[in-house]
Structure 1
Amino acid sequence: MQAKLALEDGTVYTGRAFGAAAESAGEVVFNTSMTGYQEILTDPSYTGQIVTMTYPLMGNYGTTALDAESDRVRVAGFVVRELTQVPSNFRSTRDLDGYLRAAGVTGIEGIDTRALVRRLRVRGAMNGVLSATESDDAKLVAKAKAFPGMAGRDLVREVVPPKPFTWTEGFGRFAEHVLPARPADRHVVAVDYGMKWNILRCLTQVGCKVTVVPGTATADEILSYDPDGIFLSNGPGDPAAVGYAIDAVKGVLGKKPVFGICLGHQLLGLALGAKTFKLKFGHRGANQPVLDRRTGKVEITTQNHGFSVDPSTLPAGAEPTHVNLNDQTLEGLRHTGLRAFSVQYHPEAAAGPHDSSYLFEEFRTLMG
């Protein structure tokens, strides 16, 4: 079955459809990871985005429920150079084609992903439409141009859990690969703006009982649990558009230790009075070098973000701690007076693989 990917600049790529025979619109972005496609597909931070993989072969190890980062596929569409027809992995329970079909998400293979990624790098991330049902190029381009894009959009409300809950899985599928978890003698409230499940596993590993609350929770609702610390999660969309979350972070700062990742990092920056801006094509991949300015060490990190905190707007008391070595953008900050810190990248994704795990230990130490 034929599929087409149309960009807002009028470019149209024609390939073969897989997954669901459907149509979707989104911001077209790219990810440079060689593996981890299921984690990418189920990461709520990719809500509203059509993800292109730069590595040419996808699906070779199939899929399994154990590798999911949320309860369903979150991407708007998936773009690959070549789809493996016969996966080889004893853990696999379904091939990638069937996985996306069951989720109602469309994929396209057989296009020149190098050309597509080069266009996105030169011109920036663009809105697009991926369709396995429409063959008219002009109609698809018109739909791509009409898509509202990411700037100014609050997508957090689309991915937050309906009500608070206690994380009970523990360290789950990783238990046999790590040291025994500590007794859960610290209580963390994790504010879920679209959180990856492995973050909860990592908090459990350092001895935390975790209560998850929706990202729409107010400061009073968060503090009503009387936690030892507050975690701010990753999530999709424009951080500046999530005013209710910024207000909630302002309301908890200085009252409890705070640790933020990705969108949580951006929200902490905004709550402190800094500003955010949209990156040209974002950082998405498992090979991003980050310098810890405090120690001089370089971490290999996993990242997924299209916005960044402007370090020149940080207020007095807020200190930049990490920097991206590819483009010098801010990757971490802390405010010692308010017992708050955050990073833009994903330490729970273990790209290093253990380069960034110390951050969960720092949070544990900050809680006492």
Structure 2
Amino acid sequence: MKVLLLDNYDSFTWNLFHYVDSLGVECRVVRNDEGELSELDHYSHLLLSPGPGLPKDAGKMMEVIRRYHSKKNILGVCLGMQAIGEFFNCSLVQLEKPCHGVTGTYTILNAKASLFHRVNNPFIAGKYHSWVISNPTSESGLIVDAVDELGNPAAISHVNYKVFGVQFHPESIMTPSGKQIIENWLTLS
């Protein structure tokens, strides 16, 4: 198993790296506007980091999703989840009040969601975002696995592909179950 962590120029990228590394998994960090996409062929897992702005402004991230969504195990965090949502035809919705550096309470809706094995329901997690995705349509193939306290999609998975997203930050110190969520993602075969 090898993880490519696509860095969307976010300070939390290295927290994600250290979580993956501490689990004994080889991980390489590449900025979203560097390297050739063919380099990603050598990795089993793609981790799309948080970052500023909108998915369309995040270098090659949308192209990475387009090229690998049916071939690789992908987890998008915050901006990464928003990109996955947009790729599968969800809209982005700007929050009336940004949530930066606060905790939220999340409810797991899908009891079979592999990302949340051994995670309490509800659970607490750190938020750092101004945007969320709209509720996916059935045609998108996305399932909402968890919601925030306002009912916004907070975790998604795809019915046909190993594609997952979390709007919250599992790598934040404000997310006690964050490392478990990353470990769950890594152990999905």
TM-score of Structure 1 vs Structure 2, range by shorter chain: 0.7 to 0.9
CA contact (8 A) 2:136 2:143 kept: no
Pick the aligned partner of 1:356 from 158, 175, 178.
Answer: 178
The 5 Å alignment of 1:180-329 reads 186-195=1-10, 196=12, 197-217=14-34, 220-224=37-41, 226-242=42-58, 244-295=60-111, 297-313=121-137, 315-325=139-149, 327-329=150-152
Give the drift of 1:304. Answer: 0.4
SS of the equivalent of 1:338 reads coil
Partners in 1 of 2:21 and 2:3 — Cα distance?
10
State the percentage of identical aligned residues.
23
Partners in 1 of 2:139 and 2:15 — Cα distance?
32
Deviations 1:52-88 (A, max 9, x none): xxxxxxxxxxxxxxxxxxxxxxxxxxxxxxxxxxxxx
SS of the equivalent of 1:348 reads coil
Give the drift of 1:272. Answer: 1.8
Give the drift of 1:207. Answer: 2.2
More relative contact order, 1 or 2 (CA 8 Å, 6+ apart):
2
State the one-letter code of the partner of 2:164: F
SS of the equivalent of 1:350 reads coil
Deviations 1:105-143 (A, max 9, x none): xxxxxxxxxxxxxxxxxxxxxxxxxxxxxxxxxxxxxxx
Deviations 1:158-187 (A, max 9, x none): xxxxxxxxxxxxxxxxxxxxxxxxxxxx21
Partners in 1 of 2:93 and 2:165 — Cα distance?
17
CA contact (8 A) 2:102 2:128 kept: no
CA contact (8 A) 1:257 1:339 kept: yes
Change over 3 Å in CA distance of 1:332–1:215 after alignment to 2: same
Change over 3 Å in CA distance of 1:232–1:239 after alignment to 2: same
TM-score, length basis structure 1: 0.45
CA contact (8 A) 1:239 1:276 kept: no
Pick the aligned partner of 1:337 from 160, 164, 167.
Answer: 160
CA contact (8 A) 1:193 1:235 kept: yes
SS of the equivalent of 2:151 reads coil
Partners in 2 of 1:219 and 1:270 — Cα distance?
23
The equivalent residue for 1:346 is: 169
Change over 3 Å in CA distance of 1:340–1:222 after alignment to 2: farther
State the one-letter code of the partner of 1:194: Y
SS of the equivalent of 1:347 reads coil
Partners in 1 of 2:75 and 2:38 — Cα distance?
18
Partners in 2 of 1:216 and 1:229 — Cα distance?
19
CA contact (8 A) 1:290 1:322 kept: yes
- What's the Cα RMSD here? 2.1
Partners in 1 of 2:154 and 2:169 — Cα distance?
10
Give the drift of 1:245. Answer: 2.1
Partners in 1 of 2:167 and 2:104 — Cα distance?
11
Count of residue pairs brought into register by the alignment: 179
Give the drift of 1:297. Answer: 0.6
SS of the equivalent of 1:291 reads strand
Give the drift of 1:206. Answer: 2.0
Give the drift of 1:315. Answer: 3.5
TM-score, length basis structure 2: 0.85
Deviations 1:30-56 (A, max 9, x none): xxxxxxxxxxxxxxxxxxxxxxxxxxx
The structure with the largest alpha-carbon Rg is 1
Change over 3 Å in CA distance of 1:239–1:319 after alignment to 2: same
State the one-letter code of the partner of 1:283: C
Unaligned runs of 5+ in 2: 112-119
CA contact (8 A) 2:8 2:58 kept: no
State the one-letter code of the partner of 1:306: S
Partners in 2 of 1:343 and 1:241 — Cα distance?
19
The 5 Å alignment of 1:64-143 reads none
Unaligned runs of 5+ in 1: 1-185
Give the drift of 1:222. Answer: 4.3
